[in-house]
Amino acid sequence: MSNNATEDIVINRAESTKIDAVNFDNLVFGEIFTDHMLICDYKQGVWEKPIIQPYAPFLIDPSAKVFHYGQAIFEGMKAYKDDNEDVWLFRPEENYNRFNKSAKRLAMPEVPESVFMDGMKKLLEIEKEWVKKGIGNSLYIRPFMIATGPGVIAAPAKFYRFMIILSPAKAYYSGEVKVIIAEHFSRAANGGIGAAKAAGNYSAQFYPTKLANEMGFQQIIWTDDATHSKLEEAGTMNVFFRINDTLYTAPTSERILDGVTRKSLIDLAKRENINVEVRPVLVEEVIAAAENGTLQEVFGAGTAAVVNPIVGFSYKEKYYELPKLDNPIALDLKKKLTAIQHKVAKDTFGWTVKI
């Protein structure tokens, strides 16, 4: 990070705060936002000076290319507060690097570190009181970029806006999760933008997920686009399978997002001497393991929930219930990872960054 972060950022503080009106014990994920946001515009090939200003709507041209050609990317991160009132980020450089990979894939300008990292740091300093202590409490960070350039010609825009907004969050829990293994729909295809955190990737999931919801399932485990024989992601999360005492997860690719939680869980599992294999996971082997009793756990991994255990899945109209374990690996890894994030356990990996 640069040493002149404050001098490089214009700060216009809100006249009042809405924090006192927020019930931090009863938060719905992603619905409440803090007093301030960061904005930085890209014009004429140059990034302008970042501005931190009160959270509010803004005007945009109806022909802005974000509306017509979907140039929009984002990241999801969290800030945590320890018992000493210090605020910490978790592996922010991973999100920064992935953001710019997404930008490059969608022909958008890369965001300088002085804008992304220093801007986020200053915004968090201003909104420090919105970060609450305690396991499960966090401040969700949403950096994103949209094409603001006008015109309906099918070409990349010339003007963009980078923003960061913040939302207080509690521990994410969606109850028992049952999923369907996809037989027709795919999340992404080779040569596409599946490895980017592009907005269109997520809207494309809404319809097949809606169909799954109507059948009583919460999410879909996506399969590869060509053969539908390889298991790839669960909903909007990376996915792990435990067969006997080995964890399996698919390698990242053009179709699979390089999840920060995913790679952290892999490293943490190896530290705990848990066997991990990163390789293509076949539908047929998971079905066989479910039928012979060796499939122990399936769980999603992502920023919002950290770990989301799956209690059962359906494939070709047959439902497979997973065993109820006394000491599941999924919840043990979640406990250990959240302890590092909240600074109640030693960070042996050097993942946490103090604000």
Q: What is the pLDDT of residues 265-276, one digit of tens each?
A: 999 999 999 999
- Looking at residue 1, its pLDDT comes to 36
- H/E element, 236: none
CATH number at 200 reads 3.20.10.10
Residue 305 binned pLDDT confidence (cut-offs 50, 70, 90)? confident
204 falls within a domain: yes
| Among candidate residues 122, 146, 171, the one where a domain is terminated | 171
Q: Output the domain CATH number for residue 70.
A: 3.30.470.10
Please state the rounded mean pLDDT for residues 49-77: 97
For residue 176, pLDDT over 90 is answered with no
Q: How far apart are CA 188 and CA 162, in angstroms?
A: 25
Asked, for residue 348, whether it belongs to a domain, the answer is no
Spatial CB neighbours of 109, under 8 Å, sequence gap ≥ 6: 42, 45, 47, 103, 160
Domain count, the chain: 2
Whether residue 91 lies inside any domain: the answer is yes
Residue 243 token pair: 């067969």
With contact defined as beta carbons under 8 Å apart, do 235 and 217 qualify?
A: no
34-43, 116-125, 168-177: lowest mean pLDDT where?
A: 168-177
Query: Among 171, 188, 207, which residue terminates a domain?
Result: 171
Q: 204-247, pLDDT tens digit by residue?
A: 999 999 999 999 999 999 999 999 999 999 988 999 999 999 99
The pLDDT of residue 5 is 46
CA 18 from chain centre, in angstroms, equals: 26
Residue 160 shares a structural domain with residue 195: no
Residues 182 and 67 in one domain: no
224 in the same domain as 260: yes
Q: Which residues span the domain enclosing 262?
A: 177-341
Cα–Cα dist 315/180, whole Å: 6
pLDDT class of 78 with cuts at 50, 70, 90:
very high
Cβ–Cβ < 8 Å for 251, 239? no
The pTM is what?
Answer: 0.94
How many whole angstroms separate alpha carbon 151 and alpha carbon 61?
9
Mean pLDDT of the chain: 95
What is residue 3's predicted lDDT score, i.e. its pLDDT? Answer: 37
d(CA 104, CA 101): 5
pLDDT higher than 80, residue 296: yes
